[in-house]
Amino acid sequence: SQTIHQWPATLVQPVGSPLSLECTVEGTSNPNLYWYRQAAGRGLQLLFYSIGIDQISSEVPQNLSASRPQDRQFILSSKKLLLSDSGFYLCAWDRGRRETQYFGPGTRLLVL
Amino acid sequence: GQQLNQSPQSMFIQEGEDVSMNCTSSSIFNTWLWYKQDPGEGPVLLIALYKAGELTSNGRLTAQFGTTRKDSFLNISASIPSDVGIYFCAGLKTGNQFYFGTGTSLTVIP
């Protein structure tokens, strides 16, 4: 069966510090991968999606970037965090049909 | 941008009551999905609907794909405390455009 992991589960970072959140998927190959941000427990905003290694599309301009160095690994990064980057970050995957999208457990980020 | 409107925004109900929520759009969708998110966790897919008029059940949950293809409904019968969470609709349009609703927060009072 397929599983999706995210770490860390929780992170507190000072403003201006770098960020690296990792997402990995097991039990499948060539998945589409997604990063979402959820503010205040409501609404999901799509940040990035990837259809393959080193193929990243950005949905909204922001202080964040994404990379996919391996087929089942998706990384969300920032060089300098802003207060507004706080939120709940969710990674998701599917097999190319959006209706079968599965979410990871999420990373809660607090920027102080 | 956001194209799905979910209502109600929040609900407070007594255990054992039935729950109804809906998701509407001005656009036509080809697929409707309903997710539930428990506090501090990622959303989990509950029901997927692929055809206008389709009615699908998953235990005490029943969802329907509206005949106009612009809306969908989710009903929960005989609510229990573990039903608490945020319920999201999501829709898929032609061209693989995917949108999430704003969510309905459900609180079940024992």
Which tens digit of pLDDT belongs to each residue from A44-65? 888 999 999 999 998 876 789 9
Mean pLDDT, range A22-49, rounded to an integer: 88
In whole angstroms, what is the distance from residue B2 CA to residue A35 CA? 17
Q: Give the per-residue pLDDT at A19.
A: 96
Q: Which of A106, A88, A101 has the alpha carbon at shortest distance from A49? A: A101
In whole angstroms, what is the distance from residue A33 CA to residue B64 CA? 28
Judging contacts by C-beta atoms under 8 Å, the chain A residues touching residue B88 are 44
What percent of chain A has a predicted confidence (pLDDT) above 70?
Answer: 94
CB contact under 8 A, A105 and B48: no
B49 vs chain A: nearest CA distance in angstroms? Answer: 9
Distance spanning both ends of chain A, measured CA to CA: 38
Which class for A41: exposed (0-12), middle (13-18), buried (19 or more C-beta within 10 A)? Answer: middle
Distance spanning both ends of chain B, measured CA to CA: 38
- Determine the Cα angle at A31 with ends B87 and A63, to 5°: 70
pLDDT band (50, 70, 90) for residue B83 = very high
- Strand, coil or helix: what is A43? strand
Q: Give the per-residue pLDDT at A97.
A: 67
In eight-state DSSP terms, residue B46 is: E
Write the CA distances from B3 to A42, A43, A86, A105, B107, integer angstroms: 15, 12, 24, 26, 25
pLDDT band (50, 70, 90) for residue A41 = low
B92 vs chain A: nearest CA distance in angstroms? Answer: 7
CB contact under 8 A, A99 and B50: yes
B100 in contact with A, Cβ within 8 Å: yes
pLDDT band (50, 70, 90) for residue B93 = confident
